[in-house]
Structure 1
Amino acid sequence: MQPFKLQDVKLTDGMFKKAQNVDLKYILELNPDKLLAPYLIDAGLPLKANRYGNWESSGLDGHIGGHYLSALAMMYASTGNVELKMRLDYMVNELALCQAKNGNGYVGGIPNGKVFWERIHKGDIDGSTFGLNNTWVPIYNIHKLFAGLRDAYEITDNQQAKQVLIGLGDWFIELIKPLSTEQIQHVLDTEHGGINETFADLYIITKDKKYLDAAKKLSHLKLLNPLLEKQDKLTGLHANTQIPKVIGFEKIATLTHNTDWEQASEYFWQNVTQTRSVAFGGNSVREHFNPTNNFKEMLESNQGPETCNSYNMLRLSKALFLDNNDVSYLDYYERTLYNHILSSQHPEKGGFVYFTPIRPNHYRVYSQPETSMWCCVGSGIENHTKYGELIYSHSEKDVFVNLFIPSELNWKEKGLQLIQKNNFPNENSTELELKLTNNQTFSLNIRYPKWAENIQILVNGKAELVKANPSQYINLNRNWKNGDKISVQFSIKTKLEYLPDGSNWAAFVRGPIVLAAKTSTADLKGLFADDSRMGHETRGKLYPINEAYVLVDDSKNYVSKLQPIDNMNFKMDSLLLQPFYQIHDARYQMYFQTFTQKDYENQKEIQKQQEIALLALEAKTVDKINCGEQQPEVDHQYKGEQSNSGYDDEKFWRSTRSYISYQLQNKNKAGKYIEISTLNDIKSENFEIAINGIEVKISSIENRTIKIQIPEEENFQLKITAKNKIPTPRFYQIRILK
């Protein structure tokens, strides 16, 4: 199975075409010189514009530039817009000048990059999940440039991008040459994107085995080994750290015919999609994989599934589909494409979503071109450029129709055009028309989706016998002539889909489309993000979960209570259920608890008391850090040495044999004391705590929680130092409380 090039598939009418156009506008609003500034700074070349703020000026400098190259390449291929190609060629040339100035093949925007990389080259390595020598995910950062240069070459045939990419790859191989296997694996403990995949790509481009050897060497064994044994060790891991590694495992497996690595990749995909994903295809809470048997934290959090995760899960799904010729991967791909990716961009104003909460009566935040430089902006500008990548695929002479998206396929080598028109999912059909230069015999294969019922195929108005099952292809083999028309008609039904943990929370799904209800437009604080470090997180109040809508009846009646308005809109008492991708600028409810009348009466008072306690604690919290989690720690300028982090007892933690420190924000000086919670018994003689460099006394220790009075200052540094290299307790949360 082979994909068509993006140049071969053009979107026509419909919501995907509209989303592509909105993304194009956002891409053109970004300034290439601002994105290039971190690279010019590092190379010592004069700036043409100051760099962007936000994440582009706080440690992840340059990462959007790599994504931007990919987005320019893919959007140019999809639309033919010449301004995109001009920008791409300009950026590649500027990066080549930076590389030439550096003189060793290196080009990057990482702050103090030359000093940082020299330490790594010498084997001076101190890192944990996201901090490597107190630098924020530097290999993840440079991986974006690797991928952007690859896409610039492979998609638009920019030969200069190929040369810069090869030079960068050769520099990296020299960088890690002195390191032992153990040292390289220690480096890989810090989030590093899909660096193994891009070295496999360099092997594909050059056929030089040294790049494939590097790809294997840069594969993280701490993740790979459990997958090889079919062991689920994913709970608590930072989700988007893992997915790109597996994309690399899969590519290396294909290149080396390694069935063990291929099966490990398939096992990971099955685990994530079947036991860790919610109805719209996303996964993770506060960026981490939650326990498969407990989605409670995801239901409570305002930091639901991260869009970057779905971006990468679709890349993995595409690779597995093409390599295994297995249609079932497309069921997940389609579900996630419609419900998460399409919904993650504002349909009029543009802007990309980081977190999509499933907490009832909550909402999402959208980026803005001048203020927001998050990871999900980088993947976001790519997401909507490449909708054409899997609508169709092909073998040597046969065509496969995978998705029902209005589009035109032009297979020039075969003198074949395929025009698809529909109003799906608002109507349960799609129409295909063939334009051929000559009559041809081949198979036209139409995907039979898992969700479709009573599917019917008509060729030139005549019904065909369907000899296929759901998640297979319907094979139409004949001598086709110019103007032949194929009609695909099916029926769909609405079902309740429960969370994988076996709880009583469920979402309405109609065909591949997740339905949800707008519940309010009140208190959408920060709906369009400012330039603050955590601008991607909602700031509006959390509405009590016990006040959310619930379904109370016998289970057989839940779906039957929906009153259809049209194919995709339903009335349910006072609510309007509609496709989730249509809901924007509002609070919403996607998941509903289901009860019998008796169970509801028993549970509502218990839930009410739980919510009162939870919201009361949040109300008196001025600032908090979940230790060991990437975003809260980076937001609080974490620094440390000889520090470890992990996940135990359903909590993230951090400890140290040297020191850890954070900058805390005591807004309006409202906080009076700090609570530091641990997973261990506390031996205070083994560590000391300082605020702004002055040691402070512990007021009390109770229930593994340290209490400290704080000075009347708006911002201060909290530093915890181990004594005599004795490990500190595992700290899991720090709160400033009123």
Structure 2
Amino acid sequence: MNVLRIIALLLFGVSARAQMQPFALQDVRLTGGAFMNAQDVDLKYILALDPDKLLAPYLIDAGLPLKAQRYGNWESSGLDGHIGGHYLSALAMMYASTGNTELKKRLDYMVTELARCQAKNGNGYVGGIPQGKLFWERIHKGDIDGSSFGLNNTWVPLYNIHKLFAGLRDAYEYAGNQQAKLVLVGLGDWFIELIKPLSEEQIQQVLRTEHGGINETFADLYILTKNKRYLETAQKISHRSLLNSLLEKQDKLTGLHANTQIPKVIGFEKIATLTGNTDWSDAAQFFWHNVSGTRSVAFGGNSVREHFNPINDFSQMVKSNQGPETCNSYNMLRLSKALFLDKADPTYLDFYERALYNHILSSQHPQKGGFVYFTPIRPNHYRVYSQPQTSMWCCVGSGLENHTKYGELIYSHSDNDLFVNLLIPSTLHWKEKGLKLTQNTTFPYKNESGLALQLTKPQTFAVNIRYPKWAEKLEILVNGKAQKIDGKPSEYVSINRKWQKADVITVRFQTATHLEYLPDGSNWAAFVHGPIVLAAKTSTDDLVGLFADDSRMGHETKGKLYPVTSAYALVGNADQYISRIKPVGNLTFSLDSLTLQPFYEIHDARYQMYFQTFSQTSFDEQKAKLKQQEAEALALEARTVDKVNCGEQQPEVDHAFKGEKTQSGYDDERFWRNTRSFISYQLQNRNRVGKFLVISALDSIKAGDVSFLLNDKPAEIIASDGKIIRLKAVDDEVITLKIIAQNGKNTPRFSQIRLLNDH
């Protein structure tokens, strides 16, 4: 029996509510369309990477000779080894989805090398974290200084090692590599010994740092071994700060780093299925409904500058070039899948399908390959794509995986019945029933799908066809004969009969276009046709850094921000907005001078996905106001040489943040960081044009409570005005700002540091 199926049975047992089971990726093959193209393009990207370069951080830490130098970018600047874990997962799942033997060869080789590193270390540990042994020894001794992304001034080490845990699990589950299971168990045992001396409070302090789904992987270890200490550890390393708020049905997500939270909740849900703890599962559902319903935009993504924005204000997302992060949707799909299988509720598939088509599919370049980190909804902006030899971001790691597993939920099953969940051209082999099903469809370009059954013998079971939330006038025919539709949208239509060897099911429906407004109730809306988000190419100008170099911030666009006031707006009566778009082709529409098409088709261009809607009067008033605000904001950006948003993960990493006895948070719609010791940042003063540092805080900055050093010398204060202080910059290419607390008191909550070329 397939490993995944065994795990599903272990997870779900025989409970009445948990009948739904996934098919193994080996049982499903894509046969055409955009998803198969994405899979093929991803395969080329996977094969373009060098396993020895990805293994180098592990060999370095184990003290073994290198076979190749490690990759640069994030793989040699603190997050060393994280792509290696993702790569194991991608190899395993792509092998399961395609049967490509080169993938299996690479996977087996990497696991063997990791086992060699583990043997050299001698205690079960294997990792690529810089100075890993020294780092973990400090943690073992209870020497813990953690913030949201740094632990003992090390970049998200638990997040990093979680990728290896997950990669080893996937190597065993999807590709049957027995050695991977042995290495995984050894690593898990090492971790249990690592945290054994720590109190519950100390463990929770460690978990303040981004740690991926480390609790989920210990639940997986329990599934694989039946050893209860792994399940106990999974519960012990579940982050109580988030869990407790979810148990109380409280939304405390605003301002939190989004992708730090989602994997924790996947762990909560898996632990719930193993323990029967309905409270934890209810907490996971509460989180899912909150994020999918109030924090996600039309294409399924969430967050701005990697953090959850207020549910009643998406304005920063509309303005930012750092829109929803692809990793977030990667994990929201994993959570949606887990809840769907647990609850057998196709409502989860409505979101899953929306994010799959519009975010995941759009996040890879369909010809050249390359993965997207941020997908801005700012009008007339664009996305950046990774390259195999230069880009080692988190969204490259999850991106490698995203396009390997499109077959995971096209179909599912109970003990006897089949469920058709997604309209994607594919074949299914259900060996236990002697069934081969071939789905022929060109959806979303044609609103029809044909399902051809091939059976070794006639047999009775139900084929359950998902009735999508967006489908209109659903028709189902068996061998050309119309069937009674006994379901409603977001349910299944069940056809229970004795199926013959060559029966054919035809599914037909209609789709319509509607406007979907941002969850904050503002006047920004996107055109959505069925489940497909439509957008317009607006320009191919100034696409600076379209394909990323190896710079630290290569994943962020560098091109000009076009004023939001210049974007196309829908002006007039609201009941006429939809009637203004005219079909001009297959899923293509005209909107005055613009052409709307599926967002996932738009690449190498600036685009507009969201449109402001106005009456004529409000349009005239708003345009004048926004033009002035935009001009002021753009003028400030033009004067800015470099800036740090304090308390935000990526800007702090990018500016070499260091600190002791420091905290961060989110208040008054701004992130902040303070300290009772010190914090420091490095700012780049390109061509030495920066003349002034402007430091903003949420509290008054009092001279006696804080001091400032620039390149280790006392800073010259030019002006101090309540919550803003201005310093004279030093004439160096790199400026290190150190902020020091006085007398052990907390400094003000600093929110932003700007290096300006004038006042």
TM-score relative to the length of structure 2: 0.97
Secondary structure, aligned partner of 1:445: strand
**Alignment partner, residue 364 of structure 1:** 383
Identify which of 399, 402, 409 aligns with 2:418: 399
Alignment-mate amino acid for residue 548 of structure 1: A
Alignment of 1:485 onto 2:494 = no
Alignment-mate amino acid for residue 200 of structure 2: T
Alignment of 1:143 onto 2:148 = no
Q: Deviations over 1:10-31 (max 9, x none)?
A: 0001110000000000000000
Identify which of 438, 459, 468 aligns with 1:419: 438
Shift of the alpha carbon at 1:371? 0.3
Alignment of 1:43 onto 2:62 = yes
**Alignment partner, residue 81 of structure 2:** 62
Please give the alpha-carbon distance, in whole angstroms, between the structure 1 residues aligned to 2:743 and 2:636. Answer: 36
Alignment-mate amino acid for residue 193 of structure 2: E
Secondary structure, aligned partner of 1:434: strand
Please give the alpha-carbon distance, in whole angstroms, between the structure 1 residues aligned to 2:730 and 2:346. Answer: 61
Mapping of residues 22-37 of structure 1, within 5 Å: 22-37=41-56
Alignment of 1:651 onto 2:703 = no
Q: Deviations over 1:687-730 (max 9, x none)?
A: 21111111123111114111000111111211111122111111
Q: Deviations over 1:253-308 (max 9, x none)?
A: 11000010000000000000000000000000000000000000000000000000
**Alignment partner, residue 326 of structure 1:** 345
Shift of the alpha carbon at 1:567? 3.9
Please give the alpha-carbon distance, in whole angstroms, between the structure 1 residues aligned to 2:543 and 2:189. Answer: 49
**Alignment partner, residue 344 of structure 1:** 363
Mapping of residues 2-17 of structure 1, within 5 Å: 2-17=21-36
Alignment-mate amino acid for residue 516 of structure 1: A
Identify which of 287, 295, 307 aligns with 1:268: 287
**Alignment partner, residue 110 of structure 2:** 91
Please give the alpha-carbon distance, in whole angstroms, between the structure 2 residues aligned to 1:418 and 1:501. Answer: 43
Stretches of structure 1 that go unaligned for 5 or more consecutive residues are none
Identify which of 181, 196, 218 aligns with 1:177: 196
Mapping of residues 271-286 of structure 1, within 5 Å: 271-286=290-305
Contact kept, 8 Å, 2:172 with 2:180, in 1: the verdict is: yes
Alignment-mate amino acid for residue 459 of structure 2: Q
Secondary structure, aligned partner of 2:716: coil
**Alignment partner, residue 307 of structure 1:** 326
**Alignment partner, residue 505 of structure 1:** 524
**Alignment partner, residue 640 of structure 2:** 621
Alignment-mate amino acid for residue 414 of structure 1: K
Secondary structure, aligned partner of 2:525: strand
Please give the alpha-carbon distance, in whole angstroms, between the structure 2 residues aligned to 1:722 and 1:607. Answer: 39
Alignment-mate amino acid for residue 527 of structure 1: L
Shift of the alpha carbon at 1:566? 2.7
Please give the alpha-carbon distance, in whole angstroms, between the structure 1 residues aligned to 2:481 and 2:159. Answer: 54
**Alignment partner, residue 594 of structure 1:** 613
Stretches of structure 2 that go unaligned for 5 or more consecutive residues are 1-19
**Alignment partner, residue 239 of structure 1:** 258
**Alignment partner, residue 630 of structure 1:** 649
Identify which of 294, 305, 309 aligns with 1:290: 309
Alignment of 1:464 onto 2:489 = no
Q: Deviations over 1:4-63 (max 9, x none)?
A: 000000000111000000000000000000000000000000000000000000000000
Mapping of residues 371-390 of structure 1, within 5 Å: 371-390=390-409
Secondary structure, aligned partner of 1:699: strand
Secondary structure, aligned partner of 1:698: strand
**Alignment partner, residue 688 of structure 2:** 669
Contact kept, 8 Å, 2:587 with 2:598, in 1: the verdict is: yes
Please give the alpha-carbon distance, in whole angstroms, between the structure 2 residues aligned to 1:430 and 1:667. Answer: 57
Contact kept, 8 Å, 2:475 with 2:507, in 1: the verdict is: yes
Contact kept, 8 Å, 2:695 with 2:753, in 1: the verdict is: yes
Please give the alpha-carbon distance, in whole angstroms, between the structure 2 residues aligned to 1:233 and 1:601. Answer: 37
**Alignment partner, residue 113 of structure 1:** 132
**Alignment partner, residue 449 of structure 1:** 468
Please give the alpha-carbon distance, in whole angstroms, between the structure 1 residues aligned to 2:174 and 2:706. Answer: 55
Mapping of residues 221-240 of structure 1, within 5 Å: 221-240=240-259
Secondary structure, aligned partner of 1:473: strand
User: Could you tell me the percent identity over the aligned residues?
Assistant: 73
**Alignment partner, residue 724 of structure 1:** 743
Please give the alpha-carbon distance, in whole angstroms, between the structure 2 residues aligned to 1:36 and 1:663. Answer: 30
Contact kept, 8 Å, 2:476 with 2:482, in 1: the verdict is: yes
Q: Deviations over 1:421-468 (max 9, x none)?
A: 011000001000001000010000000000000000110011111111
Secondary structure, aligned partner of 2:720: strand
Alignment-mate amino acid for residue 427 of structure 2: E
Please give the alpha-carbon distance, in whole angstroms, between the structure 1 residues aligned to 2:711 and 2:625. Answer: 43
Shift of the alpha carbon at 1:553? 1.3
CA RMSD of aligned residues (A): 0.5
Q: Deviations over 1:514-552 (max 9, x none)?
A: 000000000000000000011000000000000100001
Q: Give the aligned length.
A: 738
Please give the alpha-carbon distance, in whole angstroms, between the structure 2 residues aligned to 1:72 and 1:681. Answer: 53
Secondary structure, aligned partner of 1:365: coil
Please give the alpha-carbon distance, in whole angstroms, between the structure 1 residues aligned to 2:36 and 2:544. Answer: 30
TM-score relative to the length of structure 1: 1.00
Alignment of 1:187 onto 2:206 = yes
Please give the alpha-carbon distance, in whole angstroms, between the structure 1 residues aligned to 2:742 and 2:622. Answer: 48
Identify which of 557, 562, 569 aligns with 2:581: 562
Contact kept, 8 Å, 2:701 with 2:722, in 1: the verdict is: no
Please give the alpha-carbon distance, in whole angstroms, between the structure 2 residues aligned to 1:563 and 1:630. Answer: 44
Task: Name segments (4+ residues, structure 1) moved above 2 Å.
Answer: none
Secondary structure, aligned partner of 1:571: strand
Secondary structure, aligned partner of 1:360: coil
Shift of the alpha carbon at 1:345? 0.0
Q: Deviations over 1:636-691 (max 9, x none)?
A: 11011000000000000000011111111001111101001000011111221111
